[in-house]
Chain A
Amino acid sequence: AQSVTQPDIHITVSEGASLELRCNYSYGATPYLFWYVQSPGQGLQLLLKYFSGDTLVQGIKGFEAEFKRSQSSFNLRKPSVHWSDAAEYFCAVFFFGNEKLTFGTGTRLTIIP
């Protein structure tokens, strides 16, 4: 079955430290892949996306993500986090054959001084 997994429910990182948020999917082909961020009380904002080409994609706010076909993963990274990065992050996958963008359950990011 097609699915999206974000194994980390909550991550705490010190300001200035690096960050990696994990996302795995289950699918027989390469889907379209997205990362969204949701700040408290806000809607979702698209950080970056991948659908073909270079497997390392750059997004807004200094984020990047790497698609690894062999691992069915699309992990989000940032070299140095800022307090304003505290938010919930969602990985989303568009599986072909149905018109549905499927979301993971999200990872809540806390930044400590």
Chain B
Amino acid sequence: EAQVTQNPRYLITVTGKKLTVTCSQNMNHEYMSWYRQDPGLGLRQIYYSMNVEVTDKGDVPEGYKVSRKEKRNFPLILESPSPNQTSLYFCASTQDRNYGYTFGSGTRLTVV
């Protein structure tokens, strides 16, 4: 089944403890992206990648890192999480911009 898989689905962590949210797609898509969703703000792009080793900042990149060493994987790294990074995170991928993104099921992160 064609899909974007994120792990974990739920995560509670403490301020300052490094964490990684994994994202993998099995559709051989070129483009991948991370979004965060907050009430009243919709989805905001954190980082995106147009291909292996090609990444760029979105609207809210502060406090996040990404890497794209393989086409299928696009992990999101929070080096030192803070409470304002408590949010619902989505990974998405697409073969081309006019196709529309396929989204993962989301990762709900709570930083205390």
Contact = CB atoms under 8 A, between A and B. Distances in A.
Check if A and B associate: yes
Interface of A: 9, 32, 34, 36, 42-46, 49, 51, 90, 92, 94, 99-106
A32 B97 contact: yes
Interface size of B as a range: 20 to 34
A53 B50 CA distance: 26
B107 to A, nearest CB: 10
Contact of B90 (A9, A32, A44, A104): A44
B99 to A, nearest CB: 8
B43 A49 contact: no
7 contacts: A43-B103, A44-B92, A44-B101, A46-B100, A99-B97, A103-B43, A104-B42
Given A99-B31, A99-B50, A99-B56, A49 B42 contact: no
A46 B59 contact: no
Contacts of B42: 90, 103-106
Interface of B: 31, 33, 35, 40-45, 48, 50, 56, 58-59, 90, 92, 97-106
B101 A101 contact: yes
A102 B98 CA distance: 13
Given A42-B105, A44-B103, A105-B40, A100 B98 contact: no
A43 B105 contact: yes
A32 B98 contact: yes
